[in-house]
A and B are shown apart, each in its own frame.
Chain A
Amino acid sequence: MTIPVTIIGGYLGAGKTTLINRLLAERKPAGIAVMVNDFGAINIDAELLRESADGRIRSFANGCICCSIGEDFGAALDALRVESRSIERVLVEASGVATPANLKRQCRAPGFHPHGCVVVVDAEYHGRKLQDKYVGALLEQQIREADWLYLNRTEHGINLVDALQPRLTLDELVHLDESLPGSAPAKETSQTTLAFASVSVRQHQTVEKRTLTRLLSELPDWIERAKGFVRTPDRTLLVQHSGGRFDIAPIDTKAEPVLVFIVPANFEIALRKTLKGWHSWCLDTP
């Protein structure tokens, strides 16, 4: 029986430590070992019971075990295995520049197996960071290789990254469990350049709801995601299209009617062709 290792990844400042602190606060920490880059940022509201000889592992009265990763993740896992027999689950706070597929390979140390990688995304800054010449490609890779996304700071506007993977709520994360959706096959993707393209279309005249429904139902299956607002003659609708399914719901908003489509980058031209059929209500041929 090997111990599952759940990785909390994501770029610097995305909110990994905050998330780990919330998980520790909301779930009885017994049986959880948390591996962190640095002890300093973790709130353990409990007395320190003992510290291993090398200072690497600390056990707390509430049952939580904290382990600093240092330079060598494999060695840290080794140390953890030696230290305790009561561990049921390991949570790892990844470095901001680590990538999920690589991290999961490292979790195949004797006695452990990778459960999956949650990538924490700062919804407010993500769009800007994706354009950053230094970290854009890295963030794109982290998201592409993630098993689940956890969005932080979603109160600031619509964010479209949640289209790409099952998205977790804190509740689901708190009750981390082997049967979590998407945890089965480890994704092993090779590096490529930016894998997704987004295309926005603005609406210039209202459209009947049944026409909209027909257009949506005819969308090809390679469309990853569409989201936005569409005006009918009598109201505004929130449209969300994901995984071949779509939802349409009335919404009270003054936002500009725009639909954003996300497709694999190599389908961008095909998408633009498809959307030509929509031009009766689109402002421009996209």
Chain B
Amino acid sequence: MLTLYPARSIITMNPSAPRADAVLVRDGRIVEVGRQDQMQPWLDYDDHTVDDRFVDKIICPGFIDPHLHPSMAAVLLPMEFITAMRWKLPWGTVEPVTTTAGFDSRMAALHAHKPASEPLFIWGYHQLWHGAMERARINAVSADRPMVVWHRSFHELYMNDAALEMTGISAADIKPGSQIDYPAGHFFENGLGFAISRLNPWILASEKYAAGLERLKQVVHYGGHTTIGDLATGLFDFESEAGALADHLEGDDVPFRTRLVAHGMRLAAGGRSLEEGVAFADALPERNSHRLRFGRHIKLFSDGAFFSQLAQVQAPGYIDGHHGEWLMPPDMLEEYVRAYWHAGYQIHVHVTGDLGCELALDCLEKVQSEKPRFNHGFTLEHFGFSTPEQVRRIKALGAQVSANVYYLHELSDMYANQGIGYERASQMSRLKACFDAGINTTLHSDFTMAPAEPLNSAWVAVNRINHAGDVMGEHERLTAEQALQAITINAAHTLGMADITGSIRAGKYADFSILEEDPLTCSPTELRDIPIHATMFEGRVFAL
């Protein structure tokens, strides 16, 4: 049985035939895309129906976020958001709160509306917008209901009296220098680990975690995705995570597939050698189900968190002279890259600063000379700071780029003033240069580091407008066409799935994002506001 979907326009992302007005689908796959009057031979041969529900819509390839973290999102999504930036979530849009008074009144509103028996977890606080936080300030909202205010960076939190009581944390537990300010209820950096260990019964309880994964499922659908990449499976604990993902992200009600990329450091731990880690990774595809797929992909790490200014940067460094950090010792990264390179893997390396990027490229150059490989897909993940010279090296070495372009929107202003200065801050996410060099380049959210909204990422990449409203690095702006490539076909290439999804052509899965407006002809500043009407995953419509 064939189903014919006429549309206002179809953006195929196949450059040989970029536009069409209808797509013909059978058994979840595209049979033909093009002009309706040219499809008659198929219709003469087989039964068909015409489904005209998208006749006034724009059909795009299903969006792909090639790098997010379902397990981290599952912890965060059950919380309430009070954020300085807008977050569109399936259960409601979180409007920006950018003042101290605004934060307090939103806390009070949440307290008034949520069932009194539940502790209240709030995520998104940031001192630059929301003023200094402390226990007394939360107590002023309520000292009786346990309330925890989590920093946007996730690296610190504040508790009120009731939360301290709930977790059994008393002043006697706190040693000097433990990065806990007990009177302020403030737990930061290393003190945060202590707080989390006491909060685990509430945030990692299996029913909470399951509810979080269900919310993640909604978020992914709501963003218009039909494919995502879990870019560090095993972040917390490999087997329990793999089990939870199988429980929640597989099944007929799940409107997307997930490329699982295992956390390479975790695989070689707990007594396993690096070689045994590679062997473990080799066996992972045996666990694949229809939607959840491991492949010959591995995730490794270079330098530290971008949000925490722990990216390793080349001279002249940070304004205040501090250094970033390495997530793996550089020699260890090289050893791991070598092992997985020789085993034929596509290696994804977390890089945030230009020194971190340089290290990853040095590792790649070494292994390229040991065993030249073509089409190896070595991917620089996040790609915060870079240099134009590195872009040329990326091209020469055959690597690709997966960028968290949202850094530019949320952080370029702050990093210009309090990080590394205007020149380099305005040139973070150097993406036009990558397109010009012919590097396969994609955009991701690293959710919850950025909203899991591909059209929002595309909006940042096209406009490069930061939260203050300034254009940062105008020469690095992408065209709408390039941005759409980045969130569809280029992302499919990065995940090693371009043969089955990422564009609309005969033979691929019928994975579509169905939009109300045309992203290639609308005003660039309206990209992020285009309503998503529905998605189709393997021929099945999932309404929004």
Give A contacts to B, CB under 8 Å: 11-13, 37-40, 55, 68, 70-75, 78, 95-97, 102, 104-106, 108-110, 113, 132-135, 137-138, 141, 186, 188, 190-193
Do A108 and B176 have beta carbons less than 8 Å apart? yes
Provide the bound-state CA to CA distance between A232 and B20, in Å: 92
Do A72 and B193 have beta carbons less than 8 Å apart? yes
Main secondary structure of the interface of A (DSSP, over half): loop
Per a CB cutoff under 8 Å, which of B197, B270, B327, B328 touches A75? B197
Provide the bound-state CA to CA distance between A99 and B269, in Å: 21
Main secondary structure of the interface of B (DSSP, over half): loop
Residues of A within 8 A of B328 (CB): 97
Distance in angstroms from B100 CB to nearest chain A CB is 29
**Which A residue's beta carbon lies closest to that of B332?**
A12
Do A39 and B271 have beta carbons less than 8 Å apart? yes
**Which B residue's beta carbon lies closest to that of A40?**
B271
- Which residues B127-141 have CB closer than 8 A to chain A? none
Do B323 and A191 have beta carbons less than 8 Å apart? yes
Do A40 and B272 have beta carbons less than 8 Å apart? yes
Residues of B within 8 A of A108 (CB): 175-178
Provide the bound-state CA to CA distance between A70 and B265, in Å: 10
With A73-B193, A134-B355, A135-B330 already in contact, the answer to whether A191 and B321 are too (CB < 8 A) is yes
Those 9 A-B pairs whose CB atoms lie nearest each other, nearest first: A74-B193, A96-B329, A108-B175, A12-B329, A108-B178, A134-B330, A97-B326, A39-B271, A106-B190
Per a CB cutoff under 8 Å, which of A70, A96, A133, A134 touches B269? A70
Do A38 and B355 have beta carbons less than 8 Å apart? no
Distance in angstroms from A106 CB to nearest chain B CB is 5
Do A38 and B332 have beta carbons less than 8 Å apart? no
Q: Does B118 contact A (CB under 8 A)?
A: no
Do A135 and B329 have beta carbons less than 8 Å apart? yes
Do B173 and A110 have beta carbons less than 8 Å apart? yes
A-B contacts, 25 listed (Cβ < 8 Å):
A37-B269, A38-B269, A38-B271, A39-B270, A39-B271, A55-B270, A68-B269, A72-B193, A75-B193, A105-B179, A105-B189, A109-B175, A110-B173, A132-B330, A134-B330, A134-B355, A134-B359, A135-B329, A135-B330, A137-B323, A138-B323, A186-B177, A190-B322, A191-B322, A191-B323
Do B190 and A74 have beta carbons less than 8 Å apart? yes
With A70-B269, A109-B178, A186-B177 already in contact, the answer to whether A97 and B329 are too (CB < 8 A) is yes
Residues of B within 8 A of A190 (CB): 322
Q: How many residues of B contact A (CB 8 A)?
A: 33
Q: Does B202 contact A (CB under 8 A)?
A: no
Do B329 and A38 have beta carbons less than 8 Å apart? no
Q: Does B410 contact A (CB under 8 A)?
A: no
- Contacts A105-B179, A110-B173, A191-B322 known; 16 new A-B pairs at CB < 8 A: A12-B332, A13-B331, A39-B270, A73-B193, A74-B190, A74-B193, A95-B329, A97-B329, A105-B177, A106-B190, A110-B175, A134-B312, A134-B330, A134-B355, A135-B329, A190-B322
Residues of B within 8 A of A191 (CB): 321-323
Provide the bound-state CA to CA distance between A72 and B194, in Å: 9
Provide the bound-state CA to CA distance between A71 and B355, in Å: 24
Q: Does B273 contact A (CB under 8 A)?
A: yes
Do A12 and B193 have beta carbons less than 8 Å apart? no
Residues of B within 8 A of A135 (CB): 326, 329-331
Do A105 and B190 have beta carbons less than 8 Å apart? yes
Q: Does B241 contact A (CB under 8 A)?
A: no
Do B193 and A192 have beta carbons less than 8 Å apart? no
Provide the bound-state CA to CA distance between A27 and B332, in Å: 30
**Which B residue's beta carbon lies closest to that of A37?**
B269
Q: Does B325 contact A (CB under 8 A)?
A: yes
How does the 8 Å CB contact mask read for B168-183 relative to A, with 1 for contact and 0 for none? 0000010111110000
Residues of A within 8 A of B270 (CB): 38-39, 55, 68
Residues of A within 8 A of B327 (CB): 97
Do B175 and A113 have beta carbons less than 8 Å apart? yes
Provide the bound-state CA to CA distance between A190 and B323, in Å: 10
Distance in angstroms from B313 CB to nearest chain A CB is 11
Distance in angstroms from B393 CB to nearest chain A CB is 15
Do A12 and B331 have beta carbons less than 8 Å apart? yes
- Which residues B361-407 have CB closer than 8 A to chain A? none
Provide the bound-state CA to CA distance between A135 and B272, in Å: 26
Distance in angstroms from A83 CB to nearest chain B CB is 15
Distance in angstroms from B324 CB to nearest chain A CB is 9
Do A74 and B323 have beta carbons less than 8 Å apart? no
Provide the bound-state CA to CA distance between A109 and B169, in Å: 12
Residues of A within 8 A of B194 (CB): 74, 109
Distance in angstroms from B3 CB to nearest chain A CB is 48
How does the 8 Å CB contact mask read for B57-88 relative to A, with 1 for contact and 0 for none? 00000000000000000000000000000000
Provide the bound-state CA to CA distance between A68 and B332, in Å: 19
Distance in angstroms from B310 CB to nearest chain A CB is 11
Do A138 and B175 have beta carbons less than 8 Å apart? no
Do A97 and B271 have beta carbons less than 8 Å apart? no
Residues of A within 8 A of B331 (CB): 12-13, 96, 135
Provide the bound-state CA to CA distance between A106 and B321, in Å: 24
Distance in angstroms from B171 CB to nearest chain A CB is 12
Provide the bound-state CA to CA distance between A108 and B325, in Å: 22
Do A102 and B269 have beta carbons less than 8 Å apart? no
**Which A residue's beta carbon lies closest to that of B270?**
A68
**Which A residue's beta carbon lies closest to that of B178?**
A108
Residues of B within 8 A of A40 (CB): 271-273
Do B332 and A96 have beta carbons less than 8 Å apart? yes
**Which B residue's beta carbon lies closest to that of A104?**
B177
Residues of A within 8 A of B269 (CB): 37-38, 68, 70
Distance in angstroms from A15 CB to nearest chain B CB is 14
Distance in angstroms from A14 CB to nearest chain B CB is 10
Provide the bound-state CA to CA distance between A95 and B331, in Å: 13
Distance in angstroms from B365 CB to nearest chain A CB is 14
Per a CB cutoff under 8 Å, which of A73, A109, A138 touches B326? A138
Distance in angstroms from B58 CB to nearest chain A CB is 44
Distance in angstroms from B420 CB to nearest chain A CB is 15
Per a CB cutoff under 8 Å, which of B197, B271, B326 touches A78? B197
Do B273 and A141 have beta carbons less than 8 Å apart? no
Provide the bound-state CA to CA distance between A108 and B178, in Å: 6
Most buried by B among A40, A102, A134: A134
Distance in angstroms from B122 CB to nearest chain A CB is 23
Provide the bound-state CA to CA distance between A70 and B291, in Å: 30
With A137-B323, A192-B321 already in contact, the answer to whether A11 and B190 are too (CB < 8 A) is no
Residues of B within 8 A of A188 (CB): 177
**Which B residue's beta carbon lies closest to that of A190?**
B322
How does the 8 Å CB contact mask read for B254-295 relative to A, with 1 for contact and 0 for none? 000000000000000111110000000000000000000000
